[in-house]
């Protein structure tokens, strides 16, 4: 019998060489038994490598397409319990942060690990406000996009291009350098997002107004026309700020995993976060809020809901904004967004799609198909209705998600860069293709 080695114990973080809990595995191919340490409810996949059928066997792999059951890092940023519907940033419940905090304070919390003191918050806010401008050349290349380019595509391209404006950002092991890129990314993301919007509208780009708060300044860059000073409605600015808080982080989701994987190569954070934006662009992730509104428009009226639900149950389509890889309960962010809807609609008037959405949610939650699969509304089910009420076209919805998620991507990137256990991300594969074929000249191929 092969028992746990000291090396395996050290890997598992056991200083005295004894793991509290172990997994005993018997390999039916060889009859060998192995003791694999269990730490924090996990085994190390590398511990499986010792399980071999012969000396020259590579060793057992863990096969996990889409990383359904693989922890890729240790993280102290976001806690999520999908069964109970719990979400905490650095230990603080999302409900309390949404009610009492601001997006910039939450960004500080995610990045630094603690809530700031009043002085720390003032400095952080000042730094972010004074880095909101982008180089004039950035304007020129955004102008180079087609008039109808998707704003998410423009955001993705322009954030990636920022790395060429800050070539020193590749000094990722210098803490002072990381700190300034962190500020720049949070500060400039809304500016680039708003420029993309104005480009689609054929309107002149609006420079940031550093007298305004983060969300209010963003609204100004979207909507300011001839007025000397744009004054955002405080209720709309607050609702937008809450949406940024709700989207700020969500542990190892698709786009964050992309940021970490790309960043693990040692590339600068602008390039890594451009990869995060690309991942968020997809309809199964940040593009879902856009798809929800398209779906509601297609349903058109409450009377058509039963037909639509029948189509979903028959597998002809999905109920967008429902379901989540991790939440098997009501997404706590969806609850808070429903409240933000009321605040926004008080100012803008009710979005007529709200009635259809509310009825759709009610009917779906009473249907066995959704209940048995634990499909509940996720953060995207109602957020699109708010963005639409704020006057944004659907193509801007994933862009809004990206602005909020920027602080989370950076916090996760910072954690990854400083984690001594991390290396370049490089999964294994199970090869299923041909082997040892001889090249056939073109003339001889059938």
Q: How far is the CB of 324 from ligand ACO (least distance, A)?
A: 5
The Cα 244–Cα 362 span in angstroms is: 26
Alpha helix segments (H runs only) across 202-268: 214-223, 234-246, 254-263
User: Is residue 378 close enough to count as binding ligand ACO by CB under 6 A?
Assistant: yes
Position 284 contacts ligand ACO (CB under 6 A): yes
Helix axes 332-348, 234-246, angle to 10 degrees: 160
The H or E element that residue 89 is part of is strand 86-89
Asked if residue 361 binds ligand ACO (CB under 6 A), the reply is: no
Please choose, from the candidates 258, 255, 253, the residue with its C-alpha nearest in 3D space to the C-alpha of residue 280: 255
> Is 285 a residue that touches ligand ACO (CB under 6 A)?
yes
Position closest to ligand ACO via CB: 323
Q: Does residue 380 bind ligand ACO (CB under 6 A)?
A: yes
Rounded Cα–Cα distance for residues 445 and 397 (Å) = 50
Size of the site for ligand ACO (CB under 6 A): 17
User: Which one of the listed residues 47, 249, 268, 380 is annotated catalytic?
Assistant: 380
Which of these segments, 95-103, 144-152, 378-386, 417-425, binds ligand ACO (CB under 6 A)?
378-386
- Told to judge if 324 belongs to the known catalytic residues of this protein, a careful annotator would answer yes
Contacts of 152 (CB under 8 A, 6+ apart): 196, 277, 280, 281, 286, 287, 395, 398, 399, 402
- 186's tokens: 């949070």
Q: Is the alpha carbon torsion for 399, 400, 403, 406 positive or negative?
A: negative
Q: How far is the CB of 64 from ligand ACO (least distance, A)?
A: 13
Query: Residue 131: how many CB atoms within 10 A of its CB?
Result: 18
Catalytic residue among 199, 247, 324, 331: 324
Name the residue nearer to ligand ACO (CB basis): 152 or 320.
320
User: Is the Cβ of residue 126 or residue 373 nearer to ligand ACO in the bound state?
Assistant: 373
Cβ closest to ligand ACO, residue 108 vs residue 322: 322
Q: Does 26 bind ligand ACO (CB under 6 A)?
A: no
Tell me if 9 contacts ligand ACO by CB under 6 A. no
- Residue 375 within binding range of ligand ACO, rule CB under 6 A: yes
The tokens 């256990």 sit on which residue? 421
Report d(CA 215, CA 370) in Å as an integer.
35
**CB 291 to ligand ACO: min, Å:** 7
* Cα separation, 132 vs 129, whole angstroms: 6
Look up 380 and say whether it is catalytic.
yes
Q: Which of 134, 162, 379, 395 binds ligand ACO (CB under 6 A)?
A: 379
DSSP character at residue 41: T
Q: How far is the CB of 197 from ligand ACO (least distance, A)?
A: 21
250 among known catalytic residues: no
The CB-of-378 to ligand ACO minimum distance in angstroms stands at 4
Nearer of residues 171 and 374 to ligand ACO, judged by Cβ: 374
Q: Is 440 exposed, middle or buried, given 0-12, 13-18 or 19+ CB atoms closer than 10 A?
A: exposed
Determine the Cα–Cα distance for residues 359 and 397; give it in Å rounded to an integer: 22
By the 10 Å C-beta count (0-12 exposed, 13-18 middle, 19+ buried), 210 is classed as middle
Per-residue contact flags (x/-) with ligand ACO for residues 295 to 324, judged by CB under 6 A: -----------------x-----xxxxxxx
DSSP code of 21? E
Q: Which is nearer to ligand ACO, 274 or 402 (CB)?
A: 402
Instruction: Determine if 338 is a binding residue for ligand ACO (CB under 6 A).
Output: no
Q: Which is nearer to ligand ACO, 139 or 325 (CB)?
A: 325
CB of 78 to ligand ACO, least distance (A): 13
Of the residues 49, 150, 235, 325, which one makes contact with ligand ACO according to CB under 6 A? 325
Residues 76, 90 contacting (CB under 8 angstroms) = yes
Dihedral sign, CA of 96, 99, 100, 104?
positive
C-alpha to C-alpha distance for 307 and 360, rounded to whole angstroms: 11
Closest by CA to 69, choosing from 39, 38, 43, 34, is 43
Question: At which residue do the structure tokens 């192995």 appear?
Answer: 34
For ligand ACO, give the closer residue by CB, 209 or 367.
Answer: 367
Least distance to ligand ACO from the beta carbon of 250, Å? 7
Identity of the residue, 90 or 324, whose beta carbon is nearer to ligand ACO in the bound complex: 324
Which of these segments, 11-19, 44-52, 105-113, 376-384, binds ligand ACO (CB under 6 A)? Answer: 376-384
**Which lies closer to ligand ACO via its Cβ, residue 268 or residue 380?**
380
- The catalytic residue positions are 285, 324, 380
The residue ranges that bind ligand ACO (CB under 6 A) are 284-285, 288, 312, 318-325, 373, 375, 378-380
């Amino acid at each position: 019998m092969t028992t746990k080695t000291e090396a395996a114990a050290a890997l598992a973080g056991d200083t005295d060489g004894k793991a509290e809990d172990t997994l005993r595995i018997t390999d039916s191919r060889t009859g060998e038994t192995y003791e694999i340490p269990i730490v924090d409810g996990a085994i190390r996949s590398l511990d499986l490598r010792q399980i071999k059928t012969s000396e020259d066997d590579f060793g057992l792999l863990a096969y996990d397409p889409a990383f359904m059951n693989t922890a890729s890092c240790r993280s102290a940023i976001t806690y999520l319990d999908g069964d109970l519907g719990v979400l905490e940033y650095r230990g603080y419940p999302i409900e309390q942060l949404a009610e009492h905090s601001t997006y910039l304070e939450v960004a500080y919390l995610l990045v630094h690990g603690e809530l700031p003191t009043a002085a720390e918050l003032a400095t952080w806010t000042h730094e972010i406000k004074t880095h909101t401008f982008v180089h004039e050349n950035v304007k020129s290349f955004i102008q180079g996009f087609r008039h109808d380019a998707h704003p998410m595509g423009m955001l993705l391209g322009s954030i990636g291009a920022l790395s060429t404006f800050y070539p020193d950002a590749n000094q990722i092991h210098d803490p002072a350098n990381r700190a300034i890129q962190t500020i720049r990314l949070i500060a400039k993301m809304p500016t680039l997002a708003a420029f993309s919007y104005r480009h689609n509208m054929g309107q002149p780009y609006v420079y940031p107004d550093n007298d305004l708060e983060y969300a209010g300044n963003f609204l100004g860059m979207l909507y300011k026309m001839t007025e000397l000073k744009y004054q955002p409605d405080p209720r709309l600015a607050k609702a937008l700020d809450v949406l940024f808080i709700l989207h700020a982080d969500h542990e190892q989701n698709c786009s964050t995993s992309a940021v970490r994987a790309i960043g693990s190569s040692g590339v600068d954070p602008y390039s890594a976060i451009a990869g995060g934006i690309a991942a968020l662009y997809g309809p199964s992730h940040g593009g879902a809020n856009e798809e929800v509104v398209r779906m509601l428009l297609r349903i058109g009226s409450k009377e058509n809901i039963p037909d639509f639900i029948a189509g979903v149950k028959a597998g002809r389509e999905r109920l967008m904004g429902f379901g989540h890889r991790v939440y098997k309960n009501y997404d706590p962010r969806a609850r808070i967004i429903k409240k933000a809807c009321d605040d926004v609609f008080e100012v803008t008037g009710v979005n007529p799609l709200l009635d259809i959405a509310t009825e759709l949610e009610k009917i779906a939650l009473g249907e066995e198909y959704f209940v048995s699969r634990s499909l509940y509304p996720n953060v995207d089910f109602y957020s699109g209705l708010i963005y639409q009420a704020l006057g944004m076209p659907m193509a801007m919805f994933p862009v809004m998600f990206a602005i909020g998620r920027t602080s989370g991507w950076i916090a996760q990137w910072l954690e990854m860069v400083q984690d001594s256990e991390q290396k370049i991300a490089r999964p294994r594969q199970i090869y299923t293709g041909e082997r040892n074929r001889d090249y056939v000249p073109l003339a001889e191929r059938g």
